[in-house]
């Protein structure tokens, strides 16, 4: 889900990022000048378009992405369905009584 670029955020990195973002269904991107530094930019990509940028942190990006999914009534990406379902039903306790088997098992292991 995440697209991260480290190193010189110059023309070539920007072009690589734009190309990868254009092929991204849903994701959070970060651009950094160096590996250990703070992100230069954090944003959200939906269907190849940057819909939010300058979010400050990946955590804020994730929360905003969840909000966009609900506000725009989007489906969870297939490859991240269980991740989003876990966040929604276990962490946020929304509709938590209807868990699929894998998530129920993880919840039991975490709370024992």
Q: Write out pLDDT tens, residues 57-68.
A: 988 998 899 899
Q: How far apart are CA 111 and CA 94, in angstroms?
A: 17
Q: What is the pLDDT of residue 82?
A: 84
Q: Same domain, yes or no, for 4 and 56?
A: yes
Q: Write out pLDDT tens, residues 74-88.
A: 888 888 888 888 888
Q: What is the pLDDT of residue 21?
A: 80
Structural domain for 25, as ranges = 1-74
Eight-state DSSP code of residue 91: I
Eight-state DSSP code of residue 5: E
- To which H or E segment does residue 102 belong? helix 101-111
Q: Same domain, yes or no, for 65 and 89?
A: no
In the chain, how many domains are there?
2
Q: What is the mean pLDDT of each run of 10 residues along the chain (112 residues)?
A: 50 68 84 76 89 91 90 86 84 78 85 82
Q: Same domain, yes or no, for 81 and 39?
A: no
Q: Same domain, yes or no, for 51 and 88?
A: no
Q: What is the pLDDT of residue 78?
A: 84
Q: Same domain, yes or no, for 19 and 60?
A: yes
């Amino acid at each position: 889900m995440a697209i991260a670029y480290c190193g010189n955020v110059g023309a070539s990195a920007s072009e690589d990022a734009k190309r990868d973002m254009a092929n991204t269904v849903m994701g959070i991107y970060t651009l950094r000048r160096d590996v250990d530094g703070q992100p230069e930019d954090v944003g959200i990509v939906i269907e190849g378009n940057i819909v939010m940028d300058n979010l400050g942190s990946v955590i804020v990006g994730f929360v905003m992405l969840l909000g966009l999914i609900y506000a725009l009534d989007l489906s969870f990406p297939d490859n991240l369905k269980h991740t989003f379902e876990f966040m929604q039903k276990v962490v946020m306790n929304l509709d938590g009584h209807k868990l699929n088997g894998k998530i129920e098992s993880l919840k039991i292991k975490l709370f024992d």
